[in-house]
Amino acid sequence: MALTRAEQRRQTEDRILAAARRLFADNGYDRTTIRAVAAAAGADPGLVMRYFGSKDELFARVAEVPSDGPVSGSPEEVAELLLAALDGKLRGDLSGTLAMLRSMLTHPDAGQEMRAAISGQQRQVAAALPADDALLRAGLIGALTLGTIIGRDLLGLDGVRDADVADIVRVLRPAVHAIARPPG
């Protein structure tokens, strides 16, 4: 079963991308080297450069910022939408997202991109909340989401790391509603 050149190339690219995703997610941007990615993919460092241009471009290819759909409705509905989105994130394959999360505090571009992504979601949520501190409330829901994923997947907190996703969402539900619903 001889491979065509195009097939061969795509296979190698995929191996490099998979290795990069895993290493960036495990070690962050700075501690991940082109040489290590190449070795993990069974390829040559020079090849990685030729295919992806630079370390930054490779990182941009695999570090995904989670983009949620639009949200609207009553505060209660918005809260449920956000909880459903969190549920999905906690269940899905996070390796691309973890690469971004792991690097966002030390790699300026990653931090900027993550900040922008949260801001987008935040503004939509704020628009649906009838409170004058709506932006603060939306931001704190984002912070709760962020902290939960970091605590579970990056720090591995006891009691969170091995918890069922359903349990996490169940415990968080009243909290998200409490932030979304202004007092009164």
CA dist 114 and 108 (Å) reads 10
How far is CA 132 from its chain centroid? 29
User: Pseudo-torsion of CA 9, 10, 14, 20, nearest 10°?
Assistant: 50
Q: Which of 93, 118, 130, 165 binds a copy of itself (CB under 8 A)?
A: 118
DSSP characters for 38-86?
Answer: HHHHTS-HHHHHHHHSSHHHHHHHH-PPP------SSHHHHHHHHHHHH
157 binds a copy of itself (CB under 8 A): yes
CA dist 176 and 141 (Å) reads 7
Task: Convert residues 5-24 into a mask of x (bound to DNA by CB under 7 A) and - (unbound).
Answer: xx-xx-xx------------
Q: Which of 36, 43, 89, 151 binds a copy of itself (CB under 8 A)?
A: 151
Q: Which of 44, 76, 106, 130 binds a copy of itself (CB under 8 A)?
A: 106
12-20, 40-48, 89-97, 114-122 -> range binding a copy of itself (CB under 8 A): 114-122
CA dist 121 and 123 (Å) reads 6
Nearer to a copy of itself, 33 or 74 (CB): 33
103 binds DNA (CB under 7 A): no
Q: Which of 18, 27, 40, 55 binds DNA (CB under 7 A)?
A: 55
158 binds, among DNA, a copy of itself, none (CB under 5 to 8 A by kind): a copy of itself
Per the CB < 8 A criterion, the answer to whether 81 and 73 are in contact is: yes
Nearer to a copy of itself, 30 or 93 (CB): 30
